[in-house]
Amino acid sequence: MWYHFGTQHGSGEQFAQLSLEYFHHYDLGFLKVMNDYFYPVVEGIETMKSGDDLKHIQHFDIDKTDWQEQFKALEVIARDLDRKAYFIDTVFDPWQSIKRNMAGETIKDLMANYPDELLRALNIVADNLIAYCKRSIEIGSAGIFLSIAAADEIIDRDNFLKFVKPPTMKVFKAIAGLGKMNTVHVHGKNLFFDDCIDFPVDIFSWWDRGPNGPSLSSVKKKTSACVMGGIDQTIVSRVSPGFLKEHVKQGRKLGGDHRFFLAGGCSIDGWAYPGSLKAIVEAAKATGTD
């Protein structure tokens, strides 16, 4: 279970402390470290509007960005969890990295009118993310949890295959084998899941208990990788602890006895009742062995 702590304005040490308090309080099996230090923007350009704007996206020194705070957090977490538990670090795909804080309202126009410039920029962003991922794993992350926008309510399939998948594949190929738990989080509701099944990862994560799935068992048949899911993250803050315990038992059965990590299909609400989260953990421990 994970959620955004909202500490992107603060220090890495502060973020690490919150993450570790959360992990130890609920006695989780592994820690998904959030990453709310956004991809660095281009100085002097508040909105990416044109091909000329996109040309300003360049390779940079990852140590001279806000990511240094994430690295500080990872170092603290690595020392605390050394030989006790795995932690994985969160990254957003190159397309999302540009969209989230540089082109939220212009990304469709950029794809339609400046495709070559956008592809070039995405390739550079992928290189910078590769450098970031390698550093994260060197510090101690067991792998990278990379969220990819892969649903038709976010982007149409043709643009997904052109602008989202190729640079994401570049990142995963560069870090394949470097971590034990490299994970692709296939994000969205109406997923292009079959277009993601060839990513070279250790784990697939998605909203398996959403209205459109796909199911954990069906994905297991298509890959030798592990699957992560079983808990509908959208209900955690909306139902009782008793209901959640039964929900976890069902999720445990859906995941099976091997190649399965019990987890939510995405972030839970940050205001979820602590008793509900404890109930989830208690039910998980009661339904299987570590």
Burial (CB count <10 Å: 0-12, 13-18, 19+), residue 44: exposed
Contacts of 281 (CB under 8 A, 6+ apart): 26, 27, 28
Question: Which of these, 45, 170, 151, 145, lies nearest to 98 by C-alpha position?
Answer: 45
CA 194, chain centre distance (Å): 18
CB atoms within 10 A of CB 283: 21
The 10s digit of each residue's pLDDT in 78-131 is: 999 999 999 999 999 999 999 999 999 999 999 999 999 999 999 999 999 999
pLDDT of residue 19: 98
Q: Where are the domains of the chain?
A: 12-205
CB atoms within 10 A of CB 27: 12
Rounded Cα distance between 157 and 163, Å, is: 10
- pTM of the full structure: 0.97
Query: Right CATH number for 12-205 from 3.40.605.10, 3.30.429.10, 3.40.50.300, 3.20.20.210?
Result: 3.20.20.210
Contacts by 281-290, CB closer than 8 A, 24 or more apart: 281/26, 281/27, 281/28, 282/245, 283/244, 283/245, 283/246, 283/248, 283/249, 284/29, 284/248, 284/252, 287/248, 287/249, 287/252, 288/252, 288/257, 290/29
For residue 290, pLDDT beyond 60: no
Contacts of 34 (CB under 8 A, 6+ apart): 2, 3, 4, 5, 15, 19, 90
CB atoms within 10 A of CB 224: 7
Rounded Cα distance between 138 and 141, Å, is: 7
Q: What are the start-end ranges of the E strands in 104-242?
A: 143-149, 183-187, 203-205, 226-231
The 10s digit of each residue's pLDDT in 238-260 is: 999 999 999 999 999 999 999 99
The 10s digit of each residue's pLDDT in 152-202 is: 999 999 999 999 999 999 999 999 999 999 999 999 999 999 999 999 999
